[in-house]
Structure 1
Amino acid sequence: MESKMKTILIHVVSSEEINFYRRFNSAFYELNYSIIYTTTSLYCYFILRKARANVKLVYIDKDVSFNENESSKSFFNFLVGWSSNNQAFDSYLSSYNCAVKILKEKDVYACFIPSGRLASQEGVLKACKDYNVATIFSGYGNFPGKTFFDKLGTDKNSSLFKDKSFLNDLEYDDIYFNEWKQDFIKSKLEFHNVPQVRRVNLNLYASRFFRILFCKVEKKINVAIDIDRKWGSLLEFKKFDYKKIETNIDDLPKEFIFMPLQYTKDAQLILNYDKDLISSINDALSICREKNITLVIKPHPVENSIDAFDKIQEIVNENDDLMLCNSNTFRLIELSSEVITVNSTAGLESMLMQKNVTFLGDSFYSDMTKNEMGSYLMAFLIDIDYFDCSQISKETVLNIFSICKVD
């Protein structure tokens, strides 16, 4: 008698996530897993249907009991301004119900959830917890050819934040790590770019325009949306020429503390720091003034809000001991006395360059030992280029299961 085929459940809310997870198809089929997608995006639903994937669109379904704490919680969708909290709560409950129906019908081996921040993702997570199904969260590795996976979540929801001592049990080649580190720093000093940066151009505006139209349809047919784009959102980003920032490295003082900024809607600010961008600058300034040293800040490369830049420029103009510079991040780290960050990957990069780093927010990078850094980069992060298009091997999938302790 043949054993029942196990199922992999994948929850997606963007075409980027679809492109990433479809690279797992061959490996999942080779391992004899079927795949079911769930989504709160009508656009994603159409993409997956066109690809003949098994996909469930999450409609508003409130037929589930919930406790008082759940009904009063504020979701990331609301905090970042992407939806009302009522819409977010509908998404949470409806995604929970949708996932529960699948978990009851199918033998689900594991559920893949990107980031885990959105309301729908929290709903799917709750369903998996209630039905004892393993979860695997994914995120940018933020290092070349690396992707982050964790059984509990990303950032401060991750197993690393709760206790990173297990990194010491992972094996890696220390000689190779040191060689990799030297090559990495050398290449970044020569040229540094951020792959997830979106260019503000006609394609971006067109994408947003059609996303707004989809939102209108989604609400008409009662889709449990995570993101309710409105016409005004077309004005929230504008092309800004960062070359207008005239300060360069030669203009900086001999001694300074460097702070790479988060972008205004970054979860690192909203969830892991509980303050806004300007507050983070003021907190860093307080630290610098205790040491009588200038603070140099650099805008986040993903930041495309004119309003945010105006606020940054205003606080720079008001403080003589604050400077704005848009030079190579690694050159700024190299020349700085130390680094302050909320929870940027630049914090870990600074530690690799043997700089003292102050983390203002909750970060699992904080207090990492050299051995833990090596283990994290060489053994914990998975060797997958997130933005590549190549198929992911069965061996890599099994490695993800191992790292995330999926039995």
Structure 2
Amino acid sequence: MGNNVLIQCGDHFENQNRILPLCLHLKSYGIRPIVLLYSNNSSNIFEYENIETINLDFYRSLGKDKIKYTYTAYDESFVADVSYIEKAKNPWKFSTKRKRDEVRKIYRDKISLEKIIHDFNIDIVGIWNGYTGYVANILRFYCSEKKIKCFFMERSFFKGGLFVDPLGANGYSELARLKKVESECKDIYTVSDNEFSVSDYIFIPLQVQTDTNNILFSNYVKSMRKLILLVYKAIQDYNYENSTNIKLVVREHPEEVDKRLNLPKISGIDYRNDLGLEYWIKKSLSVITINSTVGLEALALGKNVITLGDAIYTSKELTLEYSENTELKNLIFLSLKKSPDVSSVNTFLNLLYQRNTVTYDHFPSCLEFIIKNKNAKPFASLISNKKDGIISYLKSRRVVRVQVLFKKIPKLNLTYRNLAVLCDRDYIKSELIKLYGVEVDIEITRVNVFTDSDIYIIDSIDSNINIPENGFLLDPYLLPIG
């Protein structure tokens, strides 16, 4: 096994922030992580930790002249495979008039990625999801064809963590295929006691309708409207047969962009996006989901969960699973009568952490196949230690002086649905609360030279600048540098 690991990341801060700990762990084990970004001018938190990056756009520009195939000459099976999800999301892109442009994009990225893998002598590839976007799909296909070792990444259940698995993400993961949950690891996570008084409703947290998890692993319903109507009818039938008055509370997904969901407006269905997700889970009688990670969160909060699709936590007797041979009203009855299997859920969560979760403090056992030097010193949580110093300082201050020195990026790319956020007073204040748990007033200045401040936020490291000895140096996402 070689030392060069290509890790698909992209430009969004959320992905970069989750992948950074993985890179630091790999470096500590003598592995060379090479992070694949997309844009030449994107923010790059990896440079502050001396982690190598590649810009896909640069390689795309090199390959422009090589895309000379005729429209009828491309590999139909390859294009069908890597475009399956995009076609399901946006079928109009593959109309007779537009398909040529999509095929050209696919081959542009195929040529670019093949050259990167060749030029950097890549031994292992880390792929985000495997089915989200052309880059991930091409990497998945290429690694399979060329027998290149790979692993897959996704958002973790654990806050700020990275889910990794050698076979796939979500329903394709090795973890999802386990039928029996056993773990000999020490307890990292414990299922919560539900201290809330329970209300009179069943809770549905909606998913993004065009998310790969829904497209690939939802077995019975593909639209959120159909899901709501199916559950509503089952609740009405249950109420009629049992002389009850159970209601339905629905929470829309905060990242949903489709304005044409046509969600039903019926008496007995209450749409609530206030008070926070955890509140609605804890107050509910039970939770129904297709295969959302919220289902796992509900299990962790001691709730019975009904699922209508495949997920990493289904098929393990942790959830009540809908099928063509079951009536949903009967599953609702069971969800209200049986006690949650807290012990099994607790075992699964600890297995999930030990086996599949990357944090600053933990390297997962499922990626040990990458490590050649088993005696190498593991990565110490340096950033966590730096955060402790910042937290202590912030707690001692009522007002914090912040200086912003940006040379490259006037706006921040946080997630793939939140692309242009200003680094202003409101952003800084909210991120300090989120990352460090401290609320302070902010005095902000923007000049091109360092002045006397408590926090300095910079978007690039210039060897010619004199960094102040006092104060904290942070990147645009308020993580500590140096």
* Distance in 2 of aligned mates of 1:46 and 1:354: 39
Counterpart of 1:8?
Answer: 5
Counterpart of 2:86?
Answer: 77
**How far 1:340 moved relative to its partner?**
0.9
- 1:92-103 equivalences under 5 Å are 92-103=106-117
Counterpart of 2:185?
Answer: 172
Secondary structure class of the residue paired with 2:184: coil
Structure number with greater CO (CA < 8 Å, separation at least 6) is 1
Contact kept, 8 Å, 2:93 with 2:102, in 1: the verdict is yes
**How far 1:323 moved relative to its partner?**
1.8
**How far 1:271 moved relative to its partner?**
3.4
Counterpart of 2:322?
Answer: none
* Distance in 1 of aligned mates of 2:29 and 2:227: 47
Q: 1:27 to 1:325 in 2, by over 3 A?
A: closer
Counterpart of 1:350?
Answer: 298
**How far 1:332 moved relative to its partner?**
2.5
Counterpart of 2:278?
Answer: 330
**How far 1:324 moved relative to its partner?**
1.8
Which residue of 356, 367, 374 maps to 2:349?
A: 374
Counterpart of 2:432?
Answer: none
Contact kept, 8 Å, 1:255 with 1:337, in 2: the verdict is yes
Alpha-carbon deviations, 1:116-166, whole Å to 9, x = none? Answer: 2212111011221222222122111133353211112211222223x1247
* Distance in 2 of aligned mates of 1:26 and 1:46: 15
Counterpart of 1:283?
Answer: 230
**How far 1:296 moved relative to its partner?**
1.5
Contact kept, 8 Å, 2:125 with 2:149, in 1: the verdict is yes
Alpha-carbon deviations, 1:92-139, whole Å to 9, x = none? Answer: 444333333344455433211222221211101122122222212211
Q: 1:23 to 1:332 in 2, by over 3 A?
A: closer
Structure 1 residue runs of 5 or longer lacking an equivalent are 190-248, 385-391
Contact kept, 8 Å, 2:3 with 2:123, in 1: the verdict is yes
Which stretch of the first structure deviates more once superposed, 115-124 or 47-56?
47-56
Contact kept, 8 Å, 1:141 with 1:148, in 2: the verdict is yes
Contact kept, 8 Å, 1:6 with 1:107, in 2: the verdict is no
Q: 1:171 to 1:18 in 2, by over 3 A?
A: same
Secondary structure class of the residue paired with 1:8: strand
Q: 1:31 to 1:83 in 2, by over 3 A?
A: farther
Counterpart of 2:334?
Answer: none
Q: 1:290 to 1:268 in 2, by over 3 A?
A: farther
Contact kept, 8 Å, 2:356 with 2:366, in 1: the verdict is no
Q: 1:330 to 1:138 in 2, by over 3 A?
A: same
Contact kept, 8 Å, 2:206 with 2:250, in 1: the verdict is yes
- 1:192-211 equivalences under 5 Å are none
Contact kept, 8 Å, 2:38 with 2:55, in 1: the verdict is no
Contact kept, 8 Å, 1:92 with 1:122, in 2: the verdict is no
What amino acid sits opposite 1:8 in the alignment?
V
**How far 1:287 moved relative to its partner?**
2.6
Output the aligned Cα RMSD. Answer: 3.9
What amino acid sits opposite 1:401 in the alignment?
L
Q: 1:46 to 1:160 in 2, by over 3 A?
A: closer
Counterpart of 2:411?
Answer: none
* Distance in 2 of aligned mates of 1:339 and 1:98: 44
Alpha-carbon deviations, 1:310-340, whole Å to 9, x = none? Answer: x44xx22xx2222222334333223322211
* Distance in 2 of aligned mates of 1:97 and 1:150: 26
Secondary structure class of the residue paired with 1:108: coil
Structure 1 length-normalised TM: 0.64
Q: 1:336 to 1:26 in 2, by over 3 A?
A: closer
Alpha-carbon deviations, 1:159-215, whole Å to 9, x = none? Answer: 223x124752x42225x54xx3238x67xx7xxxxxxxxxxxxxxxxxxxxxxxxxx
* Distance in 1 of aligned mates of 2:298 and 2:106: 37
**Larger helix proportion, structure 1 or 2?**
1
Question: How many aligned positions are there?
Answer: 318
* Distance in 1 of aligned mates of 2:114 and 2:33: 16
Structure 2 residue runs of 5 or longer lacking an equivalent are 240-245, 319-343, 373-482
Q: 1:21 to 1:279 in 2, by over 3 A?
A: same
Please say if 1:263 is aligned against 2:202.
no
